[in-house]
Structure 1
């Protein structure tokens, strides 16, 4: 058994809070000049019609044009979100009541540049985030801003096929620099891209790329788009540090700690390779160069990256200040020369018999978080920030309006215990932002019933409900965790 560090407190200044994304939270998709984003095109597909798929966020060019016509009868939940746009003061007051030190949010690109190609930003969009940041700072809550979180102007997908085209670097930097200039006195914590390695799973979600329009193989396009994002991220790091002295700007990945299916050396090697496919993202952004193992992989798989002179130096000169990551589950690596279908899967089809799973089939592995923290810190020796972790579950509202979500408390308690162990191991951990501190639309399935929040929002999968906010049992639990700086779980 692992020793439980009773009474242990996290370092002074540890950043406790919650994390969200604009496209799942804000709603008001057409308010005050906002344009349509790629996430606004993600439809709700009822569970019985998903063909067993847990991820329904891909859109092709034919669907996109149909959705833009507007007469499909399809419901797009991310357009409505949970109406943070009109409830932000109420929601931030609830975050403050829990004692948040930090709130992670993203800025909707299309609120600032509705099509992505305007020369002048939309003032109404900029003013909205001014109000949000002012409200946060009023309560002493630091904003942690993700510049690009699974959305971009849909017109950039239509015109350039998203990050397949190098033109996106210029357009992203215009967006990022506008944010740095406007909010330099209000935001000091930044992330360039959310879960950058997601592009290997979904070209559309991670890169705004319509797969039926790509030139070349899916893998070739994914890595070329990744290179464009690497360059854009590095240039954003450079600009942020020039414009905002003392700012901290990081990269982010979805961390899937990988275990070998057996003690066979072939499985161990396959597991190593699976890990490398994800870890090379912070490798490039934290160390400033493509690792040799990826150079070999590109060569052996006929992947040729198109670079411009100076790209490698840009990456080398502009590394990040910290590595942020999401952690939800662990993954199994197994070598099979005749079947590579599990390789790179976000949720492995190989089940771990030693782990329980959530209602959505995600393995629950708190100890895996301690392993992930130690491995990342051992590898990069740079501050880490857990910016997503939580349990998606169906909540039941009792007759008196209460929600007894002991399962969520148990999940987070066990994960924070392992965070404490990792800090005792010597890991430099900046903070923890639980995913979805208020119920929001699911990223993967655009449903509402997969809830993560400490705060219940009265809305169903079809968008019906009062949008009334109420505190779950976990709300009061997390408040005590923050008050005690993690010593009381």
Structure 2
């Protein structure tokens, strides 16, 4: 091997961006769509909450209010950025950026409004047909997430969400329907978004309402098991429909560092990392790792399984592993010694070596390289960074420009670490920045926490023209893609 460093990414590297249907599409009641779990989450001004995680915590009372609220007002995910009506304009901008891939999700409740419908909603199916056709005009490959926090609400109200095994059959029917419909238009599929969310925030990830169960931890892991089974069934069915499909899993990778060299802190970090990677162990290796037996016993969790589950998981593992990466966390047995910070799904003690965003994310580009190396060492499967980006407040200058150098700096540093991981021998399929365009925040349901390289003129209350505008980062990312990662200046 020579000494020259790689200047570009491998040929065929999939550059792009990512969004979720529930944060972008809007049109929550258009063309036969049913309500989803995301439609229950209102917007709270900062004075109305103390930490980000409570915004994603939905109770029976929250749901009752949401179901009685007939309009989109006050529920930003119901109106999104009107991607439903503006997707052609937005995809043209993605084409101008040079995207090779666009990660998006199909809103389950747009296809089966109640989840258990006898027949799919044709208008919903046609919408995604039209979107995929538009993407292919620009040679953009769809990367489709089947379930991205968009579970039909009827499955929550009538079945209790994913803790009910009956939901598996409804998901399998949904997956078979869309995979059959789009078998010649979509190659890359993800079965669930950030599947570990189900045990972190059970309603968001699994449609499980905490105040309706006696043991929320057990209910969450039961829901998760059903999702593992459903993912395996969808993977098996997808390969029957089109053997050329590449089907992956998706994890919110939250790497834990020990706070000190104290062996107790090191052990705690190991345990925390194991609990995170357990999800990909099941989907990539085909079985629960041995340490989960003790974890279930220690936490009084008794999973109800069926005889065929073990074989199903083992025989239908994924083709690749995708993940989101935003930050790293600190593990310690003495958290009271440290200050606390947090993102949307977690809180952690502060790392004194890292800067923190306004929303509590600790910025750690090198952590992305560590994650890539550890995942590849563990699984020897292709990896795909499908979410990585900076949420920040953007200012429109008097001349109309958005000088988001902070976002360029973030993307440059993280993409550089992906390149370093490739040099380390890691097989990385692609990188999709979150988000391609400003969308409603998953946690706070606000617009002012912006991730996109494309600005959307809309404020936190839904006011604005919805006009799209290219940020400075748009041109930087366009250049980075055109050079296949060689030009990151």
Query: Could you say whether these structures have the same fold, taking a TM-score greater than 0.5 normalized by the shorter chain as the test?
Result: yes
* TM-score normalised to structure 1 length: 0.96
Aligned residues of 2:335 and 2:349 also touching (Cα < 8 A): no
Structure 2 CA distance for partners of 1:439 and 1:27, relative to 1, 3 Å: same
> In the alignment, what sits opposite 1:106?
105
User: Take 2:182 and 2:157, find their aligned partners in 1: how far apart are those partners?
Assistant: 30
> In the alignment, what sits opposite 1:138?
137
Q: Any gaps of 5 or more consecutive residues in structure 2?
A: none
Q: CA deviation at 1:52?
A: 3.2
Q: Which moved more, 1:467-476 or 1:72-81?
A: 72-81
> In the alignment, what sits opposite 2:405?
406
> In the alignment, what sits opposite 2:254?
256
Q: Which moved more, 1:390-399 or 1:298-307?
A: 298-307
* Per-residue deviation, residues 174-212 of structure 1 (Å, max 9, x unmatched): 110001110000000000000000112111100011111
Q: How do 1:2-401 residues align onto structure 2 when only pairs under 5 Å count?
A: 8-70=7-69, 75-214=74-213, 216-336=214-334, 346-401=345-400
User: Take 2:181 and 2:71, find their aligned partners in 1: how far apart are those partners?
Assistant: 38
Instruction: Compute the RMSD of aligned alpha carbons.
Output: 1.9
How many pairs align?
484
Aligned residues of 1:436 and 1:452 also touching (Cα < 8 A): yes
Q: Which moved more, 1:274-283 or 1:60-69?
A: 60-69
User: Take 1:386 and 1:124, find their aligned partners in 2: how far apart are those partners?
Assistant: 32
User: Take 1:380 and 1:163, find their aligned partners in 2: how far apart are those partners?
Assistant: 27
User: Take 1:6 and 1:47, find their aligned partners in 2: how far apart are those partners?
Assistant: 47
Structure 2 CA distance for partners of 1:88 and 1:337, relative to 1, 3 Å: closer
Q: CA deviation at 1:38?
A: 0.7
User: Take 2:70 and 2:23, find their aligned partners in 1: how far apart are those partners?
Assistant: 23
Q: Which moved more, 1:65-74 or 1:107-116?
A: 65-74
Structure 2 CA distance for partners of 1:359 and 1:419, relative to 1, 3 Å: same
Structure 2 CA distance for partners of 1:326 and 1:307, relative to 1, 3 Å: same
Say which SS state the counterpart of residue 258 (structure 1) adopts: strand
Q: CA deviation at 1:62?
A: 2.1
Aligned residues of 2:329 and 2:348 also touching (Cα < 8 A): no
User: Take 1:20 and 1:404, find their aligned partners in 2: how far apart are those partners?
Assistant: 22
Aligned residues of 1:254 and 1:325 also touching (Cα < 8 A): yes
Q: CA deviation at 1:337?
A: 10
Q: CA deviation at 1:71?
A: 7.0
Structure 2 CA distance for partners of 1:478 and 1:73, relative to 1, 3 Å: closer
Say which SS state the counterpart of residue 120 (structure 1) adopts: coil
Say which SS state the counterpart of residue 324 (structure 2) adopts: strand
User: Take 1:136 and 1:63, find their aligned partners in 2: how far apart are those partners?
Assistant: 37
Say which SS state the counterpart of residue 421 (structure 1) adopts: helix
> In the alignment, what sits opposite 1:443?
442
User: Take 1:123 and 1:71, find their aligned partners in 2: how far apart are those partners?
Assistant: 23
Say which SS state the counterpart of residue 56 (structure 2) adopts: coil
Say which SS state the counterpart of residue 386 (structure 1) adopts: strand
1:417 aligns with 2:416: yes
* Per-residue deviation, residues 373-428 of structure 1 (Å, max 9, x unmatched): 00000001100000000000000001121100000000010000100100000000
Structure 2 CA distance for partners of 1:479 and 1:338, relative to 1, 3 Å: closer
Q: CA deviation at 1:349?
A: 3.2
Aligned residues of 1:253 and 1:324 also touching (Cα < 8 A): yes
Aligned residues of 2:15 and 2:100 also touching (Cα < 8 A): yes
* TM-score normalised to structure 2 length: 0.96
User: Take 2:473 and 2:336, find their aligned partners in 1: how far apart are those partners?
Assistant: 46
User: Take 1:414 and 1:351, find their aligned partners in 2: how far apart are those partners?
Assistant: 21
Q: CA deviation at 1:54?
A: 4.8
* Per-residue deviation, residues 134-183 of structure 1 (Å, max 9, x unmatched): 00011100000000001111111101110010011001001100011100
User: Take 1:314 and 1:227, find their aligned partners in 2: how far apart are those partners?
Assistant: 12
Q: CA deviation at 1:55?
A: 4.8
User: Take 1:72 and 1:405, find their aligned partners in 2: how far apart are those partners?
Assistant: 34
Say which SS state the counterpart of residue 349 (structure 1) adopts: strand
Q: Any gaps of 5 or more consecutive residues in structure 1?
A: none
Aligned residues of 1:327 and 1:386 also touching (Cα < 8 A): yes
